[in-house]
Structure 1
């Protein structure tokens, strides 16, 4: 007897279809190599990128989006002297040196002596400071407790610096000033995002938010024109910003003290009370509840008695439909796994499988499992017998 190979018979030789390590590497090596290349490029970009310091809001030397380097350079191009300072003492010295021809621009008063700032004579422009600070620098001005949304607004006033600039990105605090105040860029009911008024030492201008001075917003609307009109008046500008090196919060003489020395004397009583409360809570929640107690059931009801009792109830109420539904549902639940069907199998699948196993008429099987309820007790008894017969036939076939 000659043996014919698949190649001689004109058939292709069977090969395994499950992936191997070699086929996986061949199919996915390009993706792996591209991922490694992207990671290396990202690391190279991060390493070669010049280090940048933290963003400083409204700082004339900061080139980030929140800084104000752009407007400071525009002012210098127009011949305005911009002196950046981070202390109230330096701002006062610049004001005295300018002999009245001076504008104090205040953008941040953190770690500053506000009383010293309030005593500096001359005009001042206060931008975006909190309401509690505004009371010290401009006592005549008032700010609403709820800030307004910053957006593009029309000036709606007669101030030349604002009307010439037009719409600007304004908002923040809703400001009100004393009698004779000029208010621009209305916000809220009767507040303004910009107010200006005269006082004994000069002219005070307060702006609710300083976003229009940032590098990010300067080119929008009339922000640049408004900034130049307010600041670029030809006078020396002292631009007060937050100091980069804040002063220490503790007295240098206390540097040699330990943490225990710096604690108040009453702190130990709080620690003692916390320890006592923790111990009481642990004792309360950690007590033993004792072993689990088993309790005998007062009445034991056999399964046959339960079935018989439910049957009597169905018979008394003539609930043949519910009785037939219970019989059919129980039969389907028991036969479905025996037939190799899922629990969610449809009516046609169940009927076809039972008919194929038992040889019964599919129409009779479908009527028995999914048909109308029996009309009388005899029909119910006949249905129960037919369902039992189908179960016994399928069990014997297995």
Structure 2
């Protein structure tokens, strides 16, 4: 068995190891990409949810338009974040079942935008306002409210229409689906439909324009859309519950592919087979090749060291000296045995490196003469 035949299985294993590593990296990248692009499920009007009932599209448009959107999970978050110049968006009011929480919300500074409020929320936040059913799907503003006239026709779907007593000045739009009035120094806006603000309904008619005009009326928006009644604890979720199913499915498929490739390429290749070297290189060719390499790099010093080292390795046994013999002993013994001048021997065995190619050639000849004289003595 030769070195070449032994090296081939190792190179194969190394190449397939890199292939397996590349597949693992691709699997990780694919999993991350799938996770980042996967839908984010959530409740209705959740500003981080990307499903049709969520409202991430509206929240993103508002932020891109320069509105500071602050998501509040509790009434306490609303109270800490709100200011007189802010707008409080209240949605999912069916979870506001505590009268005390509604009273705190009514006392919070800032204007109100009530999205499809429940009966309890209307009694606490907009008293004196009644509702009547409306079957209008596509509706024109039919009012002077700037936010509505700029949006134009809006597709609400089945919505509630608001009816306000004559003792209050109210701007009513879209056949009463949208109203606005002043109450105790604050502006209260109520809309009897939620769908036009969600991801699924935002692209219809003038829905997006009306949603942005209403929610972006102030530079700071407090988004309060609770997902459960305050004071109740939501069901705990683990990390695996937060990972979308399609990510787990894609990762499982990729790992199966990696396993199959590993089993396919990891099979035993069989016993090693000895082979003859395809080419026999003569020693003279090796010497000539090394000499050309030295010459191309002008490495006369290294060539001289190689010549002197090889000469000393052959001379020392003939002179009866050991490998660690001092230079003076080598010079004296070689001069005595060969009958040459000690200075001549010292210069060529331990002298400075040659300055030119011709000096290197002369050094090689002189070393050959010293070795020949010692051998014939």
TM category, shorter: 0.3 to 0.5
TM-score by length of 2: 0.48
Q: Highest relative contact order (Cα 8 Å, sep 6+), 1 or 2?
A: 2
